[in-house]
């Protein structure tokens, strides 16, 4: 079992972007799970196709079940990827943190907008956890509701005190990852 983590847009240096969240995951998951966290191309000027290609390469390097986890733009890239490309790996869970839902008012970007119905491309038996801080000042909470409407099997978890960066992490996140990793049933995206 491996966790593929896709970071947010913007600088990813020390104490920037998703780096503190990633450190929290590494410290708390320890050796129980390998985390694959590819450096996404041009994070300060991201391109959807390039990011999906990088995610695709990370997925195809793994020959076992995976959990896909994304933060902010990284999460929306995971959903865009799964709506447009076939994934042969066994995916036992998807975890989204503060994902923008492209296409909402003030969030228009043709390259990041998902062009089809997500519930038709993601196997409904795959558990999806959508985490969003009620007071996120970068991506408003309404974005998680849009994902919940697009993905009926998703569980929405509103949190407080995490802001947009989720840099402090929280114990429930580790428990959910560990729980997903113990599932034995292999599910396929886009069968």
- pLDDT tens across 130-155, in order? 999 999 999 999 999 999 999 999 99
Residue 184 has a pLDDT of 42
Q: What is the pLDDT of residues 59-91, one digit of tens each?
A: 999 988 999 999 999 999 999 999 998 876 789
Q: Which fold has domain 2-181?
A: Rossmann fold (3.40.50)
Residue 86 has a pLDDT of 80
- Of 38, 127, 124, 121, give the one whose Cα is nearest residue 84: 121
For 54-91, the three-class secondary structure string (H helix, E strand, C coil) is HHHHHHHCCCCCEEEEEECHHHHHHHHHHHHCCCCCEE
Count CB neighbours of 45 within 10 A.
8
Average pLDDT over residues 101-111: 95
pTM for the whole thing? 0.94
Residue 16 has a pLDDT of 96
Average pLDDT over residues 169-185: 86
Q: Are 155 and 129 in contact (CB under 8 A)?
A: yes
């Amino acid at each position: 079992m491996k966790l593929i983590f896709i970071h947010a847009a913007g600088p990813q240096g020390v104490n920037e972007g998703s780096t503190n969240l990633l450190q929290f995951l590494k410290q708390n998951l320890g050796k129980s799970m390998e985390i694959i966290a590819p450096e996404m191309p041009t994070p300060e000027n991201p391109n959807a196709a390039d990011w999906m290609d990088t995610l695709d390469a990370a997925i195809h390097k793994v020959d076992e079940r995976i959990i896909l986890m994304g933060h902010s733009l990284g999460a929306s890239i995971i959903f865009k990827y799964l709506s447009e490309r076939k994934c042969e790996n066994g995916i036992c869970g998807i975890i989204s943190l503060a994902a923008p839902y492209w296409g909402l008012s003030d969030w228009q970007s043709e390259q990041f907008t998902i062009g089809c119905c997500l519930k038709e491309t993601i196997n409904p038996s795959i558990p999806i956890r959508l985490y969003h801080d009620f007071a996120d000042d970068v991506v408003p909470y309404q974005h998680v509701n849009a994902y919940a409407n697009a993905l009926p099997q998703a569980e929405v978890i509103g949190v407080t005190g995490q802001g947009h960066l989720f840099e402090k992490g929280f114990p429930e996140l580790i428990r959910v990852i560990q729980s997903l990793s113990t599932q034995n049933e292999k599910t396929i995206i886009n069968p």
